[in-house]
A and B are shown apart, each in its own frame.
Chain A
């Protein structure tokens, strides 16, 4: 009787997992879970999910990885921590995914991070840029996009790349995000260039007028303004700066798209002195970005691609690379080791190569700025370019 049970159990396991014991890996499939805000106000950032999924579909069409096709299970978290927790639970327990490529809002990532670490599920970040995600270090967690520390540093470096820059002003939200960004920029400016921020201003979320801020900036006459602001408030700043004839260059943060800002400001002339952080190699709406856009619209014909649509495509390509290197006998540990061995990986979409190591999972250590030059979005690594 005991033997019978054992045989039956073995048979059942064999039926469920014909050759491999590893979750989410079948004979000819690898299941990947994606979670992101697909609805609600954060869903503009959630567009990254479609870029990633398009990349996975594309590799499937080219024959897959070691004979396996990628199966994507997509969940909506609405940028809400509680929903993210249940989405991830569903993905791991019910859908039995091999890895998770998800998380656009830092709050959702923080909410599921420890649980995934305990289960040793590889967790590749889709779009959440907070540097706090990879601190403290977690073996299973990878961030293949420029994080907030990288962005703040790049903004300072870009300003300092203009010869003669001596005064840098900073305007920021007073929330956690704004304060963290401001602190990193301030510290980097001090450490790398021995300078202090000359003027620090606050601009609250949902504000509809930036007159006092602009007038203070006009008085102080800095060489640059670093704007640690969300898209709507960045647009407000740019618009009011133009209204009051301020010509100081304004540098926008990651998450603020050039085109979106232009649409919000509604005035090309106002955009002349605006630069924003840019993670991609090809400029927006250039011929070079076209193939990437086509890749997305091929699988999602209704998708209106914009900045955030491309955000996770580099990460998806890195995942594919690691899956290839991990070999046909795929396990989670092998995958994590393969991710850590990725060095200077040129994704073609990100302007900075992806590099992971055994003790650093922040994969993208640079970026660029983008601005309108002769009416065309132009990627600038340094001011004089």
Chain B
């Protein structure tokens, strides 16, 4: 029983982790807290649906097309909606991301307000039994896909020059510009990248959750909780936070009460902010020389 809960918790946690990862990457590289990221996730899922089910493309092609579309959407949003106000107060940009969320959700509602769409599983094989644990192939794909994204981004930020540049650019945009980095261009690229992450997450998760215009809102809260738990802006913290919240929901849901599952994320946000404001992995970082 415990093992099953852990397994399911890891699947759920991976989903939270990847959404939290995308938001953290954007926050780290542009300083923007993206309240519309849930809607990006939704848009990614719908894009895959449209390409595979409506247009009729092969799954892999549909997936690539969806990622490409989302990357473009992310970049366009940065260029058209964020860049003109980026020097204004943070709250203005935050409100803009909320507006993005409404915009994308509104578009989805316009076309699919009526129905909940089912996305066929990526691989259609019967559930797998590992001892007493049941896992579907989709579960394994989610864990694998999310972990691959997480590892890729870790390596990118910690090991590559470009990754370091991106972080540098976000921490000291002026300094980055003074070594010839196109900071706005970087930001646009990062908006594209995180929108692409959202498309990957949407693709992995859609067969499990089905598609509806508001599907991202719920995940956004979990992702916030994961980020807060792990230390806002901390890449490893977001991932660890996501996994722990997934696990805790399952265990608390089984051993304490199923009513706890959904409020767990909120509890985490409140408790962590009060007791451990920098999260479990957060440390105070001086930001200015």
Residues of A bordering B, CB below 8 Å:
39-41, 43-44, 171, 174, 201-204, 206-209, 211-213, 215-216, 219, 231-232, 235, 243-245, 260, 263-264, 266
Contacts and interface: CB of A to CB of B under 8 A. Distances in A.
A39 B113 contact: yes
B8 A208 contact: no
B115 A44 contact: yes
A201 B254 CA distance: 10
A204 B253 CA distance: 11
Given A211-B8, A245-B134, A264 B212 contact: no
11 contacts: A41-B212, A41-B213, A44-B114, A206-B214, A207-B261, A208-B15, A208-B218, A211-B4, A212-B8, A215-B254, A216-B254
Nearest to B2: A215
Interface of B: 1, 4-5, 8, 11-12, 15, 109, 113-116, 118, 120-121, 127, 134, 136, 205, 208-210, 212-215, 217-218, 249-251, 253-254, 257-259, 261-262
A41 B116 CA distance: 9
A204 B259 CA distance: 8
B90 to A, nearest CB: 28
Contacts of A39: 109, 113
Contact of B214 (A41, A219, A235, A266): A41
Given A41-B212, A243-B134, A244-B134, A264 B118 contact: yes
A325 B251 CA distance: 62
Contact of B118 (A44, A202, A263): A263
Given A206-B215, A211-B250, A212-B261, 4 more contacts: A206-B214, A208-B205, A209-B12, A266-B121
A256 B196 CA distance: 35
B4 A215 contact: yes
Given A174-B259, A216-B254, A209 B116 contact: no
Nearest to B12: A209
A216 B213 contact: no
Contacts of B262: 202, 204, 207
A27 B282 CA distance: 77
B116 to A, nearest CB: 6
Nearest to B119: A266
Contact of A204 (B4, B109, B205, B261): B261
A266 B120 contact: yes
Nearest to B256: A212
Nearest to A245: B134
Nearest to B11: A209
A43 B72 CA distance: 31
A317 B254 CA distance: 49
Contact of A212 (B121, B213, B253): B253
A208 B41 CA distance: 15
Contacts of B4: 211, 215, 244
A219 B127 CA distance: 20
A206, A213, A243 pick with most chain B CB within 10 angstroms: A206
Nearest to A209: B12
A163 to B, nearest CB: 30
B83 to A, nearest CB: 32
A113 to B, nearest CB: 26
A171 B258 CA distance: 10
A235 B1 contact: no
Contacts of A43: 113-114
Contacts of B218: 206-208
B113 A213 contact: no
B220 to A, nearest CB: 11
A207 B15 CA distance: 12
A232 B209 CA distance: 9
A232 B116 contact: yes
Nearest to B263: A204
A243 B127 CA distance: 7
A266 B249 CA distance: 26
A281 to B, nearest CB: 26
Contacts of A207: 218, 261-262
A205 to B, nearest CB: 8
Nearest to A212: B253
Contacts of B249: 212
A224 B235 CA distance: 45
Given A243-B127, A266-B120, A215 B259 contact: no
A263 B134 CA distance: 23
Contacts of A40: 109, 113
B261 to A, nearest CB: 6
A225 to B, nearest CB: 13
Contact of B113 (A41, A243, A245, A260): A41
A213 B262 CA distance: 13
Contacts of A212: 5, 8, 249-251, 253-254, 258, 261
A243 B129 CA distance: 10
Contacts of B120: 266
A231 B113 contact: no
B113 A203 contact: no
B258 A201 contact: yes
Contacts of B113: 39-41, 43
A192 B214 CA distance: 40
A245 B5 CA distance: 15
Nearest to A232: B116
Given A204-B262, A213-B253, A264 B12 contact: no
A157 to B, nearest CB: 26
Contacts of A211: 4-5, 8, 250, 253-254
